[in-house]
Structure 1
Amino acid sequence: MKIGLYFGTYNPIHVGHLIIANHMAEFADLDQIWMVVTPHNPLKKKSTLLDDHQRLEMVYLATKDFPKIKPSDIEFKLPQPNYTVNTLVHLHEKYPNHEFSLIMGEDNLKTLHKWKNYEVLLDRYDIYVYPRISSEEENTALKSHPKIHIIDAPIVEISSTFIRNNIKEGKNIQPLLPPKVWEYIDHNNFYKK
C-alpha cells in the first residue's frame, strides 16, 4: 500500500489541509493519506500549540468522513523534537509492507536542504509537492529531481496562524474549518486568549 505522509502541527486543522489531503488521495498515485500530527516542529515555538491529543482529536473529527485520509499519532511516541527522517525509520519498522512518501508544500521544498539528513529523504522517498504562492526564489534543482512529483493541486492560502489570531480577535472564521472542528474549538474556547 502506498501511503502519503502529510505532516503538520494542525493547530488547528482547516479546510485547506483537507483540500490538499483529498486532492492527493484522489489525484496522486497514493492509496491513503496519513495526516501525521507533529507534537513539536523544531522550527515552531511549542508554547503556541494546543495539547497533542486535542490536535489529534481535531484531525480525527475532520477526516472521519474521508475513508482514504487517516489521522496518525505516530510521532507522539518518538523522541522530541521530531525529525522526519527518524519518523520514517520508525514507520518502516512498524509497517514493513507499506511504501511511504512525503507530501509537502512548495515552501517546504525550498527549505528541504536544511532538514536533517535531507539527502536520505531524497534518495529513498517520493515527495509529492503541492503549489504555494511565494515571492521567494525557486529551487529549480530540487524540482527536477526524479523523486520530486509536482502535483497540480489547488493553491490554498489559509493558515492556522490566521485562524488562531482571528478567533482571538472574535472574528467569525467558521467557513475555514470543518464543521466538527469548529464545534470542538468553540465548545472548548480554544485560541480565545
Structure 2
Amino acid sequence: MKIGLLFGTFDPIHLGHIQIGQSLLDAKLVEKIWFIITPLNPFKKGKKISSIKDRFAMVSIAVKKQKKFIISDIELNLELPSYTSNTLRYIKQKYPKDDFVVIMGSDSYLSISKWQDSQYILDNFEIYVYQRPGQTVKLSSNIIHIPGKQMDISSSYIRNNLSLSRGLLDSEVLEYINKNALYH
C-alpha cells in the first residue's frame, strides 16, 4: 500500500493540511494519509506549543470524516526531539511491505538541508511537495508537486489571528480551540 506521511506540529491543524491530503487521494497518488503529530520539532525548541493532548484532539476532530486519513502517534513513542529521518527509519522497519512517501510544504523542502540526516530522506523516499505561493521547488525523479489549488495558510497565522480564522479551520476544531482557550 502506498501511504503518504504528513508530519507536523499541527498547532492547529487547518484546512490546508486537509486539502493537501485530499488532493493526493483524489489524484490516486497515495491510498492513505498518515497525519504524524510531532511532539517536539527540533526547530521549535523553546517556542510555546499547545499540549500533545490538545494537538492530538484537534487532529482527531479534523480527520474523522475521511476514513483514509489516519492519525498517528508513532513519534510519541520515539526519542525526542523528533527527527524525521529517525521516524522514517522506524516506519520502514516496522512496515516493510508498505511504500511510504513524505509530504511537505515547499517551505520545509527548501530548508531540508538543515534537517538531521536529510540525505537519507532524499535518497530513500519520494517527496510530495505542496507549493506555497511565492516559492518554487525544482522537480526531479523523486520530487513531485502535489496537485490542487494553493492555499496560503499557516498555523502560526491562525494562532496569531484566531478571530480572522473562520473558514481556515474545521468548525469543530475552532470550537475545540475556543472551548479550551487555546491561542487566547
Partner amino acid for 1:110? L
Aligned 8 A contact 2:23 2:147 in 1: no
2:70 alignment partner in structure 1: 70
Q: Which residue matches 1:179? A: 171
Tell me whether 42-51 or 66-75 shows the greater mean CA deviation. Answer: 42-51
Cα–Cα, structure 1 residues 89 and 186, in superposed 2: closer, same or farther, change >3 Å? Answer: same
Runs of 4 or more above 4 Å deviation: none
Cross-structure match for 2:152: 157
C-alpha distance 162-17 of structure 1, shift in aligned 2 (>3 A): same
Q: Spell out the pairing of 1:22-41 with structure 2 (5 A cutoff).
A: 22-41=22-41
Distance 1:164 1:183 in 2: 14
**3-state SS, counterpart of residue 174 of structure 1:** coil
Moved more, 111-120 or 48-57: 111-120
Quote how far apart the aligned CAs of 1:139 are: 5.6
Q: Work out the CA distance in 1 between the residues paired with 2:41 and 2:73.
A: 14
Amino acid at match of 2:152: E
Match of 1:82, SS?
A: coil
Report SS of the residue matched to 1:183.
Answer: helix
CA displacement at 1:172 relative to structure 2? 4.4
Structure 1, gaps ≥5 residues long: none
Q: C-alpha root-mean-square deviation of aligned residues, in Å?
A: 1.5
> Do the aligned residues in 2 keep the contact of 1:5 with 1:36 (CA within 8 Å)?
yes
The 1:40/1:46 distance shift into structure 2, 3 A limit, reads: farther
Contact 2:85 2:121 in 1 (8 A): yes
Determine if the alignment matches structure 1 residue 191 to structure 2 residue 183.
Answer: yes
Secondary structure of the residue aligned to 1:85 is helix
The answer to whether the 8 A contact 1:2-1:30 is kept is yes
Residue 153 of structure 1 and its aligned partner are, at CA, apart by: 2.4
- Report the TM-score when normalising by structure 2: 0.93
Stretches of structure 2 lacking an aligned partner (at least 5 in a row): none
* Mapped partners of 2:137, 2:64: distance in 1: 36
How many aligned residue pairs are there? 184
Q: Tell me by how many angstroms 1:45 deviates.
A: 3.6
Contact 1:164 1:191 in 2 (8 A): yes
Range 61-70 or range 158-167, more displaced: 158-167
Residue of structure 2 in register with 1:134 after alignment? 134
Deviation at 1:67, TM superposition (A): 1.2
CA displacement at 1:127 relative to structure 2 = 0.8
Q: Tell me the distance in 1 between the aligned counterparts of 2:129 and 2:48.
A: 27
Do the aligned residues in 2 keep the contact of 1:28 with 1:151 (CA within 8 Å)? no
Aligned residue for 1:43, secondary structure, equals helix
What is the TM-score normalised by the length of structure 1? 0.89
In structure 2, the CA distance between the partners of 1:73 and 1:188, relative to structure 1 (3 Å rule), is: same
Q: CA deviation at 1:185?
A: 0.8
Q: Percent identity?
A: 40
- Flag the 1:26–1:50 CA change in 2: closer, same or farther, 3 A: same
